[in-house]
A and B are shown apart, each in its own frame.
Chain A
Amino acid sequence: MPAHAYRRRPFRPAPEQQGKAGRGGVAIVGGGPVGLTCALELAAHGIPSTILEEADTVSEGSRALCWSKRSLEILNRHGVAARMVASGYTWNTGRVFHGARELYQFGLQPQGPQEFPAFTNLQQYLAEEFLHEAVARQPLIEMRWLNRVSGVEPAPDHVRIAVETPAGPYRMEADWVVAADGARSSVRRALGLDFTGRVFEDHFLIADVDVHAELPNADRRFWFQPEFGGGDTALCHKQGLGMWRVDFQLGWNIDREAEKRPERVLPRVRAMLGDHPMEITWVSIYTFQARRLARFRHGRVIFAGDAAHQVSPFGARGGNSGIQDAENLAWKLAYVIRGLAPDRLLDSYDAERGQAADENIRITSRTTDFLTPRTPASRTLRDAVLHLAADAPFARALVNSGRLSTPTIHTDSPLSTPDGEPWAGGPPTGAPCPNLALAAPDGFLLHHLGGGFRLLIFLGEAAAIPPGLASLLENLPVMPAPGIEPLLVARDAATGPVRTLRDDDGSVHEAFAAQTGTAYLIRPDQHVAARWRTPSFPAIAQALARALGMEDKA
């Protein structure tokens, strides 16, 4: 496999440059993973958008490679996940070494059959190519390559955007702007917003290596003080199409240019991977930061992905959290645009994804403190943990080579209704539903959730629908807009008056800690809004109103 052949896209004059100026609905600045996902999610809700992208091709070089299960569940709605899995390398187990000694292995996949692996490794440029295939299939999305946004001017009921192109500048107006223009966001600068945080004083040499040999060890491997040298720590991942990602921690005081030279890089890589025929296709030296915007929503301009927050990549939380931003934002924006929810629903995007950013910054900063101790005492404690980890199981829990991305649970969100009854188990309010296997031919649970609000009603062992539930089901159609579609989950092949999912082996009931009559209200982004042991129409109506931002949290 040679290095990726970046397909250069031609410039096409924008309608505004051909005298066809029209006031656009949603303008998305930046066509990276987050902007593309946002456009696809909006389109799935029937909302058209225009993507303004300054480059003429996908992301170049070594960037994201580990895509989480949750990201694939989201992208699966757009026909992208299967493509990624087919071309990528999937894994569920990580291995951690100290010197030559293996300290432990960690497994990431929960119990039960899963549609997607914990992680799929795929070069960011390939992930973006597959997203572009989906965008091209979607008539509601207009992709504008070689369109650089140079100015953004918010007005009360629209936003003016200045764009530069090879054919000269033009202006356009949009009702909403999604700023997904990455860590160096021009939109952020145009609004004069601060983006401060912590810089980690360390350098990481990161390379993509095309290895012309079958290597035996393909799990994620992380070394502290690797026996083969090369850096304080080292990390190795297999990617798609025979490509490998290697990462060496070089420290703070280095000559960046010298370290990037092939004669310095190759010996390091060979010491790690073995003396095989190989070709280095990309080398970068990175310094990482942790920072976020204080607020993600600025009226009609809303920030997502790296434009809103940045973390060090140990844990694969950058792109994966950005994809969740896009999902979280898209349904809320769609509901507000369609008049199904008040403007205030968009404030909950800031609350929920701000919480996620704080969580990701906290978790990745802890990892970085372990990899790059800032004080002699911190280094001594780190070394003590590594010493102990081989002998003492408790110390393995303290070894931190990255806590891999998991979706944030928005329990305290203004959209979540707190539990009114005691619960032991089940996805808590604010969590995404687990993607459990159903009896054939129903596939997986998440295929049936999302888009609109759903009420999952569990029938348990009951042979027929109990009378209480029957009257609830009768009344559900009069639920105010946008309404709720009920979905029964049955242990038996019982055919109810509404769509029924079959849980023959009871595993879905078990995972939801469900008994006969248990109900979960599921948001359009597959997160739990509320849950009940004994659901009632008024309680469901109230939870729906709250999940739409119509009501303050009590």
Chain B
Amino acid sequence: MTKHLSLAANIADADGFYERLIRLHDGLSEAESQLLNAKLVLILANHIGDEQVIAEAMELARKGVGEAHAPTT
């Protein structure tokens, strides 16, 4: 059975997690923050490993982003 991306809430302390995520960027420049985010994505994606789950996550993340520039045909 192939696994699918789970969208149900999975982090017990949601507010705490979110705060840590923001705090992680404290004192960083825009470029440093970008780098940090990229590293985090890579670390988490590797931990998940399942290509199907990662593909679904990528698709969901891309949804609605950059739509203004999407080709109209």
A interface residue numbers (CB < 8 A to B): 376-377, 380-381, 383-385, 387-388, 392, 394-395, 398
> Which A residues lie within 8 Å of B39 (CB)?
384, 387-388
Q: 6 closest Cβ contacts across the A-B interface? A: A384-B38, A394-B46, A384-B39, A380-B34, A380-B38, A381-B38
24 contacts between A and B (CB under 8 A): A377-B34, A380-B31, A380-B34, A380-B35, A380-B38, A381-B38, A381-B41, A383-B35, A383-B38, A384-B38, A384-B39, A384-B41, A385-B42, A387-B35, A387-B39, A388-B39, A388-B42, A388-B43, A392-B43, A392-B46, A394-B46, A395-B42, A395-B46, A398-B42
Q: How large is the interface on B (under 10, 10 to 19, 20 to 34, 35 or more residues)?
A: under 10
Give the most central of B34, B38, B41, B46: most A CB within 10 Å. B38
Contact with A along B1-41 (1 / 0, CB 8 A): 00000000000000000000000000000010011001101
Interface SS majority for chain A: helix
> Which B residues lie within 8 Å of A383 (CB)?
35, 38
> Which B residues lie within 8 Å of A380 (CB)?
31, 34-35, 38
> Which A residues lie within 8 Å of B43 (CB)?
388, 392
Report the minimum CB–CB distance from A208 to chain B (whole Å).
37
Nearest B residue (CB) for A376: B34
Report the minimum CB–CB distance from B44 to chain A (whole Å).
11
Bound form: Cα–Cα A394–B31 in Å: 23
Bound form: Cα–Cα A451–B31 in Å: 59
Bound form: Cα–Cα A60–B34 in Å: 45
Bound form: Cα–Cα A377–B38 in Å: 9
Bound form: Cα–Cα A398–B38 in Å: 13
Bound form: Cα–Cα A381–B43 in Å: 12
Report the minimum CB–CB distance from A370 to chain B (whole Å).
13
Report the minimum CB–CB distance from B56 to chain A (whole Å).
19
Bound form: Cα–Cα A381–B41 in Å: 9
> Which A residues lie within 8 Å of B31 (CB)?
380
> Which A residues lie within 8 Å of B38 (CB)?
380-381, 383-384
Nearest A residue (CB) for B34: A380
Bound form: Cα–Cα A384–B39 in Å: 5
Contact with A along B28-67 (1 / 0, CB 8 A): 0001001100110111001000000000000000000000
Report the minimum CB–CB distance from B35 to chain A (whole Å).
6
Bound form: Cα–Cα A384–B34 in Å: 9
Report the minimum CB–CB distance from A445 to chain B (whole Å).
36
Bound form: Cα–Cα A388–B31 in Å: 16
> Which A residues lie within 8 Å of B46 (CB)?
392, 394-395
Bound form: Cα–Cα A383–B35 in Å: 7
Give the most central of A377, A380, A387, A398: most B CB within 10 Å. A380
Bound form: Cα–Cα A385–B38 in Å: 8
Bound form: Cα–Cα A380–B35 in Å: 6
Report the minimum CB–CB distance from B72 to chain A (whole Å).
22
Bound form: Cα–Cα A75–B46 in Å: 42
Nearest A residue (CB) for B40: A384
Bound form: Cα–Cα A392–B45 in Å: 13
Report the minimum CB–CB distance from A377 to chain B (whole Å).
8
> Which A residues lie within 8 Å of B42 (CB)?
381, 384-385, 388, 395, 398
Bound form: Cα–Cα A381–B31 in Å: 11
Report the minimum CB–CB distance from A319 to chain B (whole Å).
34
Bound form: Cα–Cα A387–B40 in Å: 11
Report the minimum CB–CB distance from A379 to chain B (whole Å).
9
> Which B residues lie within 8 Å of A395 (CB)?
42, 46
> Which A residues lie within 8 Å of B35 (CB)?
380, 383-384, 387
Bound form: Cα–Cα A398–B46 in Å: 11
Nearest B residue (CB) for A392: B43
> Which A residues lie within 8 Å of B34 (CB)?
376-377, 380
Nearest B residue (CB) for A378: B38
Bound form: Cα–Cα A380–B36 in Å: 9
Report the minimum CB–CB distance from A389 to chain B (whole Å).
10
Report the minimum CB–CB distance from B38 to chain A (whole Å).
4
Bound form: Cα–Cα A265–B46 in Å: 41
Nearest B residue (CB) for A381: B38
Known A380-B34, A380-B35; further 17 A-B contacts with Cβ < 8 A: A376-B34, A380-B31, A380-B38, A381-B38, A381-B41, A381-B42, A383-B35, A384-B35, A384-B38, A384-B39, A384-B41, A384-B42, A387-B35, A387-B39, A388-B39, A394-B46, A398-B42
Nearest A residue (CB) for B49: A394
Bound form: Cα–Cα A215–B57 in Å: 49
Nearest B residue (CB) for A384: B38
> Which B residues lie within 8 Å of A376 (CB)?
34
Nearest B residue (CB) for A394: B46
> Which B residues lie within 8 Å of A385 (CB)?
42
> Which A residues lie within 8 Å of B41 (CB)?
381, 384
Bound form: Cα–Cα A274–B65 in Å: 50
Bound form: Cα–Cα A544–B9 in Å: 59
Report the minimum CB–CB distance from A260 to chain B (whole Å).
33
> Which B residues lie within 8 Å of A384 (CB)?
35, 38-39, 41-42
